[in-house]
Copies of this chain bind each other. A is one copy, B any other.
Amino acid sequence: MKQVVAGIDIGGTNTVFGLTDREGAILASGSLKTAKYEDGEVFIQDLVKAISNGLTDDMKLVGIGIGCPNANHYTGTMENAPNLKIKGVIPFVKRFEEIFSVPTVLTNDANAAAIGEMVFGGAKGLKDFFMITLGTGVGSGFVANGELVYGHDSFAGELGHTIVLLDGRMCGCGRKGCLETYTSASGIAKTFIELTEKYTGKKLENTNSYEVMLEAEKGNPIAIETFDFTAKILGLALANAVCITSPSHIFLFGGPVKAGRFLLDPLKKYMEDYMLFVYKNKVDVQVSELLDRNAAILGAAALGWQRI
State the A residues within 8 Å of B (CB): 127-128, 140, 142, 144-145, 147, 149-159, 161-166, 173-175, 236, 239-241, 243-248, 274, 276-279, 282
Contact = CB atoms under 8 A, between A and B. Distances in A.
A161 B243 contact: yes
Given A159-B244, A161-B243, 6 more contacts: A144-B151, A153-B282, A157-B243, A158-B276, A163-B240, A244-B245
A57 B245 CA distance: 43
For A163, A247, A274, which residue has the most chain B Cβ atoms within 10 angstroms? A163
Contacts of A244: 140, 142, 149, 156-159, 162, 241, 244-245
13 contacts: A145-B145, A150-B246, A151-B245, A153-B248, A153-B279, A155-B246, A156-B244, A156-B245, A157-B243, A161-B276, A163-B274, A173-B277, A244-B244
Contact of A166 (B150, B165, B277): B165
A149 B245 contact: yes
Contacts of A145: 144-145, 147, 149-150
Contacts of A159: 243-244
Given A142-B245, A163-B239, A244-B162, A278 B149 contact: no
